[in-house]
Structure 1
Amino acid sequence: MDIYFSNKIIWITGASSGIGEALAYALSANGAKLILSSRRLAELERVKQGCKFPDQVCLLPLDLSDTSSLTEHVATAIQLFGQIDIMVHNGGITQRSLVVDTDIEVHRRVMELDYFSYVVLTKALLPHFIAKKNGHFVVTSSVMGKIGTPMRSAYAAAKHALHGFFDCLRAEVAAHHIKVTILTPGYIRTNISLHALTSDGSAMGKPSENISKGLSPDRAALQILKAIKKGAFECYIGKFSGEKIGLWLNRFVPGLLIKMAPKLAPK
């Protein structure tokens, strides 16, 4: 058990599957007190019962796409344990379609869920962190928040927006001892591609070859715990593979990556 997380109160959105579920198990094993959120109460209950200390887990069902309702959930979350120490923004949806084919409502839906829900929850929770003079926002972005490849325009736009918003926030709240860690996962073996939005807003409904070869959620959770404890500004999560090489190229030789991008459509 890592005493850094012992008795810390951590709120995780998107906690009913994938990275969020794995984080719940890893953090509970390290003695954290958890608030788990997603739309699916039955799945949240399953995750709770899988935690090492289920009596230290509270469930707070919510719909991130209904951004007008999110502010009231923050007050409820704080009341559950009396405070929140770490907020893990993890819910979201992805997209697979060409710009020319994609309905504008798909762009709006992705932006609402992957960007605006994070902003609304952060703005509502921020006064609590400022008042107690500490706190930590952990933000699940993506490699697509740093680079752009075919068929990911709505998703990449939302993730790029997260980097802009939270980089600004980090600079604003440093004096209040509030930390911001942006996670940039590569391919992680989750079901996210099954629910990826296609051009008309329907779900893709099939697994991604690249994702099926990705890092397991359990191993991703361990990498995330290290990044949180370190207070990293930004951290790649995943295998050493093409995604990490892409980040390196984007940083040091962006022109080369731009030339390669047309061949990088997702599989």
Structure 2
Amino acid sequence: MKNKVIWITGASSGIGEALVYAYNNSGANLIISARNRDELFRVKGNCKNQINVHVLSFDLEDTALLADKVRDAQKIFGHIDMLINSGGLSQRSLALETALNVEQKLMNVNFWGTVALSKAVLPQMIAKGGGKIVCISSLTGKFGTAYRSAYAASKHALHGYFDSLRSEVFDKNIQITMVCPGYIKTNISLHAMTADGQLHNQMDENQEHGLAAAECANLIVKAIQQNKEEVYMGGKEVKGILFKRFFPLRFSKHMRTKNLAIQKTKH
């Protein structure tokens, strides 16, 4: 990816930040985006080659403004070779207790923000002969779990949309990769939304002992290089995909038992 132009959202922390460092080390030209401008400049300051890293801050929930942000991004290097949609929010609340506006925010950021940004980038990619779009989904984009109802819905929606989009633009040299991480050691649980929209502000045990973000980023880079359509990464939780596919009833019972155990620890 040397000298390629890569735009990474959610670049101020977690997997997005780790991808910034991985691609900076490979000599790519980077546009890094998130809501927190100060954190983006912190990330830029940590890069070995800061000259080729440009900060463009915005909120994915402001979908009406995203087309303008795409035009701003294209002016930086003249075009976009790859868009990595890593921005998003997680959830830590039961469906029956979660306010509808919180669920709508999760969909707006995780799904509609990603869709709007990708659609605005695509025409330029097609005009220049091709490009890559990467979506950082989740294993919960393949199966739902307790306390993640709206989050899982937003990730499931990404798969439906981008699988369909892939079939529409494959002949235009557009490669779409869906990345499904499991437990990755990031601050995603700290920033997760609770039932009333407040921050969860707690580090989950599974996240604490998850795969290192840098290792996750390296696996993502490799998958993109190999033009993978879908890739999974993490620990033993990845086996849940096959467990659900071949033993759906047993999987459902297992998840219910796991949920009861979680509820007991909370009370």
Place the TM-score, normalised by the shorter chain, in its bin. over 0.9
User: What is the TM-score when the length of structure 1 is the normalising length?
Assistant: 0.95
| Contact 1:141 1:182 survives alignment (8 Å) | yes
**Structural mapping, 1:232-243, within 5 Å:** 232-239=228-235, 241=236, 243=237
* Structure 1 position 104 matched with structure 2 position 105: no
Q: In the alignment, residue 104 of structure 1 is paired with which amino acid?
A: L
User: Relative to structure 1, is the Cα distance of residues 210 and 178 closer, same or farther in structure 2, using a 3 angstrom cutoff?
Assistant: same
Distance 1:6 1:256 in 2: 47
1:63 aligns with 2:59: yes
Distance 2:197 2:35 in 1: 19
Task: Say which of 119, 126, 130 aligns to 2:122.
Answer: 126
1:192 partner SS: coil
State the TM-score, normalized to the length of structure 2. Answer: 0.95
The letter of the residue matching 2:98 is T
Letter in 2 for 1:259: K
> Is contact 1:149–1:264 with CA below 8 Å preserved after alignment?
no
Does the aligned pair in 2 maintain the 1:93–1:196 contact within 8 Å? yes
Counterpart Cα distance in 2 of 1:166 and 1:82 = 25
Q: Give, as a single letter, the amino acid of the residue that structure 2 aligns with 1:157.
A: A
Does residue 196 (structure 1) correspond to residue 192 (structure 2)? The answer is yes
| 1:204-215 alignment, distance < 5 Å | 204-215=200-211
Q: 1:219 aligns with which of 186, 202, 215?
A: 215
Structure 2 gaps, min length 5? none
Number of the residue aligned with 2:242: 248
Report % sequence identity.
Answer: 47
Structural mapping, 1:23-42, within 5 Å: 23-42=19-38
Distance 2:14 2:27 in 1: 21
* Alpha-carbon shift at residue 247 of structure 1 (Å): 1.2
Residue 44 in 1 paired to residue 12 in 2? no
Q: Which residue of 1 aligns with 2:175?
A: 179
Gaps of 5+ in 1: none
Structure 1 residue 263: deviation in Å? 2.6
Q: Which runs of 4+ in 1 moved over 6 A?
A: none
> What amino acid maps onto 2:169 in structure 1?
V
State the Cα distance separating 1:233 from its structure 2 match. Answer: 0.4
The one-letter code sitting in structure 1 at the alignment partner of 2:248 is P
Instruction: Tell me the equivalent position of 1:262.
Output: 256
Shift of 1:251: 2.6
Distance 1:171 1:258 in 2: 31
Counterparts of 1:157 and 1:148, CA distance in 2: 8
Q: What amino acid is the match of 1:143?
A: L
Deviations 1:134-170 (A, max 9, x none): 1100000000000011111010000000000000011
State the distance in 2 between where 1:264 and 1:230 align: 36
1:254 Cα shift? 2.3
